[in-house]
Structure 1
């Protein structure tokens, strides 16, 4: 057995990212010694000397094999230096990495402030070195803003970023480049004067904010989201011809149906179920997914653009698709009564709801009907229409019966069951907000969601069994640090979370059940959500904690997610079902690079979608300055409180300096701001009343004043010290002259993304 020091030295020397089997092989351990090795690793983990990353361990502060990094500087030798994007500051300052640029690379040469994907090599003379795999994002040498014209030429630039609120730029006369008032523009900073506003020159007009769909245009340009298809990509799409039944199984007589939101333009999945005569009480469920791989072949212009985009981006007022409409809305959309190619999985479900077998097939299908969620649910509830009436007995009732069976296994599996309703914006014809609704969560949604999860599991199992490389949808469990913080917080609510190195979703579910219907229900749901890790794409399988599944891959949406297209190609290769499958030269290392890149595009899309919603709601509320709203405190920091309005879900900020003339300290354990003298406490989850003080629609920022009194430690007002002075009720609210905006709220953990009425896990 290795000693503690030998084990740590080995992990460190291998880039700080090794699996237990690598350690056992390196030290020549026998099978009967693996339990002792496991105990030693647990001991090091508990001491903080080792940490878990999926199924691998690393020395805290060490970097994984593939790193997303920002180029920050040059060293004395002129080499570019990069810092990892994600780094735990508890381990000190982020390390600097020498950027190694391959001589023969198709990638553009990286430069200062670019974001790159690096493959870490062996350190040289104590210096970390990373070879460039891909330039993820070129530096923004320009700033974006809204041009406001001055009467006699020139004007000002209003920043679109919350971080830069109040930092306007001046555009001299002659530097406007024909920009009109209200245009979104890209500007370049000019040589600055000692006094006055910084000056800038308009470099590009990006669009007018007076037009429809202009708000999402801001996010598209702010995040550099590709939204115009190059001519070569459109030419590829136009050359595509409908697939035929050649080399496919003909399933056109099977009455598959699509069930989607009423406004869906593309239909990429269809379902069918029948009782299984060979398995009393069981069912055969069929899930058919559009065969995008038949049209988007590896290495084509379509494929390169899809990888660059990574996924479709869904804004309230538009969609930026991963694939051109010729593919996504036409050839690959499973329209009713039209022949379409698909990749189908036939799932055999036992009486207990568990999947006992499955098989994949490359088919030609013909959808029997296009249904909306509410339409399908209404038919089951006794209100049929001319479309659902003929399908009720033969199609819909068997589907719901199969779901009732599958739900038994889901309930036994106990995935993480957070109760965080998602709001949806309903827009007017001019693109502004009409109202905000919380769509009803129907059994129709849950049914499709559960069938898709089963199909995704089957895809991962098949590719593993066939030893075909794939991209997993992976979700690690909470870190020990987050569990410790959560445990401490729950103690303040007299809720116990047992101490353990590992935890299952069922543990969180039991806690959530305790608070159903109580005042702290929303609070506990939010805090448990924030304790979770973020799901990502990975070539290495470390399971899906939230769904409580050992293996999971995205298979069901290849129209809008590149990861699903890769899985489709893997299945085609594994089944030997065509020449358009995963290329033979594809390796796990290559897929690790793809997974890292599309994880970045997914986070980019989430940020852009969230910011667009913030801007639309800020526009909606801009004429309600001075109005009061019911809200909940959704976050607390040293700088102040974040609040979410009950009616619209809008996020806003209450600066700590406006809470009163007490001094408020942030208590991380209680997730609250607490007054030094009065003991007044404002904690996340508290219901409050707030007044809107300022709205910055362009940046999507709202600032509020808190009208509600907080709780008091010990249940009553009390002075913190002998010289504390009077309680808060004796002080007027602090006022400020002129507008003031709080700092930009960090990425607010939202509910799991839901597209087409189903949870995106």
Structure 2
């Protein structure tokens, strides 16, 4: 047996950083019997003296040697713009600096930023630098709860309004702050010893639960979406003056804005005319002018810091949580009809076939000739112009449409992913109550503006690449191998083929969707194709944009509501020497961490928007308990079915236990629940009729009852009971008979 010394233990941990618990150390050093007590004392002393750190309940690591796989907390950006962290153990951070070296395997999530924690593989390179490759980003722990305060004679309690958080906190007298019965509050869970109810303390009163607009208040609080601006930020916005720089005069060009009828800000204006160059017969000159927000929001100012913190505007049915105060978002930076405005612009020249020949970036002054809605612009083109659109029909609108049709030819050749998903709008009364849900109409006017914005965004990325200038790309990675395998397996269950080995392109998905439209499984296939796609993110590394089928893409066209676009504007100003307010070095060296922050806030905004919509729709349906609705199955899990109602697009849940007398098995490959004995099935995308059983407006959850019969057993497929019986018989012990059949309800809960 090896003599147990402090140095032996330290040497062993250095040579075997992956085997860090007491049992492995004892086995590795040949320790047994009474010597184990000595080992425990040595480990305790080394920990107390700071030579070791705990990395788990019973695991240790040398403070100068991070474990090969462990949690890393990222602390700072160094002078080279690299993200630096240290290993995280039970007693805090320890060990040397660790440089973030990207994600392990195929990229799946946004990169970590300062303050984030991630499970990483950690390795020391030949250059003595420790590097971490992220396996999984870890969510920040939270001990706060959002809920409704219920006052009692002695204090009160707060029950969570989240579907995912089932806690209830007891509030002692004196811990309720200014909360009154029925208030929406944020609580902090307090430490308590022993068993019994958990205790909490009210730290913020958000609003009142009977407020019709409580849905948005809860969503903003849950996802940290700020609504109000500090007085100092508002004052700075109201007094902001544009940077004094040379600008081209675009006031003689009838640029127009085309936006939703209820738009509260106007980022972009467009204009098109035949190209006057005789070398380009039938070609087009297109100008996309964008609000010059960078002229008003200067790096390091209160406005800039607040805009960066928010990262983007968040849109709720009853309000907008803007990135910028109204003095800018709806004032000086909004391209209002007839108002003189600073702008950044892309002038783009196209051939008659829609091929781009050249473009240039400019900084100018413009005056919008008109602010039209999509409906107004489309009606004018369709032969029913309004008084305002009529004078613009020949000189402005018809050339815009003609240029767009040329560009649309190239778009069709490019074949971006064609997932036509209807957008629904929740309509509210002046008091904030839901009065209905409508599908937003989609016109050629929408497609025109969308294509012109895409072209301007491409030009922004190309311009910065041409100048070899840093930028943040908007990237959309191709689907992961795992998702493609899942898609292939799903299509196999429908007897549809997805050829393995063939290059994955948006066009392949479009052909699949076109074939699906000829079958009764169109909705299932559209849903699974949507789920196969990666999420678009911001990144300093150009991965291309799979969905748009573009090699390079950057957000340029919405700086009023997206900080990413403001970064691109500043980069263009620097790259082309358009003024002193370009991208500062402090941001230039931190673009990847900025991109990570923008992705995180964008996802928080998306989640908050969905959360608020769910709560509004649930409140709208609360007085229709017992009513029947048609819908489609949009999700299948072991524990039940998710159904989206056709009338409102509200999502509800049907527990598997309520589907009938049979036991239901989850067939992951087919995205279906299959009945144990009959083999009948409920499948993804299946149209169904359901009854509304419960509607909890506070949590935004609907409980449904299935009224539709399942689809029949697939031809030639054996029901789960027969398949499981075969496996049971194969493992049956000799001489034993009967016994309980595995796979009953108790077994399902275990899995």
TM class, shorter-length: 0.7 to 0.9
**SS of residue in 1 equivalent to 2:164:** helix
**SS of residue in 1 equivalent to 2:689:** strand
Which digits, 9 at most, give the CA deviation of each residue in 1:475-500, with x for residues without a partner? 11011221121112112222221112
Q: Which position in structure 1 is the counterpart of 2:30?
A: none
Q: What is the alpha-carbon distance in structure 2 between the residues aligned to residue 76 and residue 315 of structure 1?
A: 40
TM-score with structure 1 setting the length? 0.78
Q: What is the alpha-carbon distance in structure 2 between the residues aligned to residue 393 and residue 654 of structure 1?
A: 55
Greater shift in the superposed pair: 63-72 or 247-256: 63-72
Q: Which position in structure 1 is the counterpart of 2:477?
A: 476
Q: Which position in structure 2 is the counterpart of 1:261?
A: 260
Q: Which position in structure 1 is the counterpart of 2:51?
A: none
Which digits, 9 at most, give the CA deviation of each residue in 1:489-533, with x for residues without a partner? 112222221112631100000011112253211111110010011
Q: Which position in structure 1 is the counterpart of 2:504?
A: 503
Higher radius of gyration, 1 or 2 = 2
Q: What is the alpha-carbon distance in structure 1 between the residues aligned to residue 379 and residue 616 of structure 2?
A: 32
Q: What is the alpha-carbon distance in structure 2 between the residues aligned to residue 79 and residue 139 of structure 1?
A: 23
Contact between 1:373 and 1:445, CA under 8 Å: does it hold in 2? yes
Q: Which position in structure 2 is the counterpart of 1:529?
A: 530
Aligned with 1:149 (options 135, 148, 151): 151
Deviation at 1:303, TM superposition (A): 1.4
Aligned with 2:90 (options 50, 74, 79): 74
| 1:693 equivalent in alignment to 2:693 | yes
Greater shift in the superposed pair: 248-257 or 232-241: 232-241
Q: What RMSD over aligned residues (CA atoms) do the two structures have, in Å?
A: 3.6
Contact between 1:66 and 1:120, CA under 8 Å: does it hold in 2? no
Matches within 5 A, 1:199-598: 199-241=199-241, 247-278=246-277, 279-500=280-501, 502-516=503-517, 518-584=519-585, 586-587=587-588, 589-598=589-598
Greater shift in the superposed pair: 328-337 or 575-584: 575-584
**SS of residue in 2 equivalent to 1:714:** coil
Which digits, 9 at most, give the CA deviation of each residue in 1:290-324, with x for residues without a partner? 00010111222211111111111111111111111
Structure 1's 461 and 136: CA in aligned 2 closer, same or farther, altered over 3 A? Answer: farther
Contact between 1:678 and 1:724, CA under 8 Å: does it hold in 2? no
**SS of residue in 2 equivalent to 1:200:** strand
Contact between 2:634 and 2:685, CA under 8 Å: does it hold in 1? yes
Q: What is the alpha-carbon distance in structure 1 between the residues aligned to residue 685 and residue 259 of structure 2?
A: 34
Matches within 5 A, 1:155-234: 155-165=156-166, 167-190=167-190, 197-234=197-234
Deviation at 1:137, TM superposition (A): 9.3
Structure 1's 473 and 723: CA in aligned 2 closer, same or farther, altered over 3 A? Answer: closer
Contact between 1:472 and 1:541, CA under 8 Å: does it hold in 2? yes
Q: What is the alpha-carbon distance in structure 2 between the residues aligned to residue 214 and residue 61 of structure 1?
A: 41
Q: What is the alpha-carbon distance in structure 2 between the residues aligned to residue 403 and residue 68 of structure 1?
A: 47
Structure 1's 637 and 69: CA in aligned 2 closer, same or farther, altered over 3 A? Answer: farther
Matches within 5 A, 1:717-728: 721=721
Which digits, 9 at most, give the CA deviation of each residue in 1:66-104, with x for residues without a partner? 88999985258867999x9x999999xx9xx9x9xxxxx
Contact between 1:632 and 1:644, CA under 8 Å: does it hold in 2? yes
**SS of residue in 1 equivalent to 2:677:** coil
Deviation at 1:122, TM superposition (A): 5.5
Greater shift in the superposed pair: 308-317 or 200-209: 200-209
Unaligned 5+ segments in structure 1 are 1-58, 100-106, 726-742, 744-761
Deviation at 1:590, TM superposition (A): 1.4
Deviation at 1:392, TM superposition (A): 0.6
TM-score with structure 2 setting the length? 0.79
Structure 1's 71 and 336: CA in aligned 2 closer, same or farther, altered over 3 A? Answer: farther
Unaligned 5+ segments in structure 2 are 1-67, 75-80, 726-748
Q: What is the alpha-carbon distance in structure 1 between the residues aligned to residue 644 and residue 378 of structure 2?
A: 31
Structure 1's 118 and 641: CA in aligned 2 closer, same or farther, altered over 3 A? Answer: closer
Deviation at 1:254, TM superposition (A): 0.4
Structure 1's 429 and 374: CA in aligned 2 closer, same or farther, altered over 3 A? Answer: same
**SS of residue in 1 equivalent to 2:642:** strand
> How many pairs align?
642
Greater shift in the superposed pair: 222-231 or 631-640: 222-231
Q: What is the alpha-carbon distance in structure 2 between the residues aligned to residue 90 and residue 463 of structure 1?
A: 27
Q: What is the alpha-carbon distance in structure 2 between the residues aligned to residue 364 and residue 484 of structure 1?
A: 52
Structure 1's 550 and 620: CA in aligned 2 closer, same or farther, altered over 3 A? Answer: same
Contact between 2:618 and 2:697, CA under 8 Å: does it hold in 1? yes
Q: What is the alpha-carbon distance in structure 2 between the residues aligned to residue 369 and residue 173 of structure 1?
A: 60
Q: Which position in structure 2 is the counterpart of 1:104?
A: none
Q: What is the alpha-carbon distance in structure 2 between the residues aligned to residue 119 and residue 254 of structure 1?
A: 55
